[in-house]
Structure formats: structure tokens, C-alpha cells
Amino acid sequence: MPCAPINTVADGVALARELGLDPVVTAGDVPGVRHPIGFSATAPRYDLPPPGLDEHGDEIRAWLAD
């Protein structure tokens, strides 16, 4: 059974920084949490910021209705 403290996002980011990791990445002007898995040949890209709330909702609902 896994056993560890339950952290908030802020606590998790603080712990990652204490461990020498760089947990925050900025896409556009929006900070976010870096992808936790690293690949040797293909690093993740953060070209675009995350979409706004319901920004693509109409398109997704139309796709789901098909």
C-alpha cells in the first residue's frame, strides 16, 4: 500500500524545487507544471498555452455528437 503525505500543488512544486528539479514551465505567458516524464530523444515542447475554459467546447461537443 503506497504511503506518503498528501500535498497541495504548491507543496508539490516546492518539494520539486527542493529536490533540484525545475517543475514550472511557461507556455506563452501562462505558467504550468512541467511534464513529469523525460525522454532522452524527444523533449516535451510547450509552444502554446493551455486553452481557456470551454474554448474548444463547441467543437468537442460536435465531434462527440457524430
Residue-wise pLDDT tens digits, 8-62: 989 989 998 999 988 898 887 888 888 777 777 887 778 888 888 999 999 999 9
Task: State pTM to two decimals.
Answer: 0.53
Q: How far apart are CA 56 and CA 46, in angstroms?
A: 19
Nearest to residue 47, comparing CAs of 64, 16, 18, 25? 25
Spans of all domains in the chain = 9-65
Helix (H) or strand (E) holding 33: strand 30-33
Is the model's pLDDT at 3 over the cut of 80?
yes
Mark 28-64 as b/e (b = at least 16 C-beta within 10 Å): eeeeeebeeeeeeeeeeeeeeeeeeeeeeeeeeeeee
Beta bridge partners of 32: 25
pLDDT at 22: 87
pLDDT greater than 90 at residue 64: yes
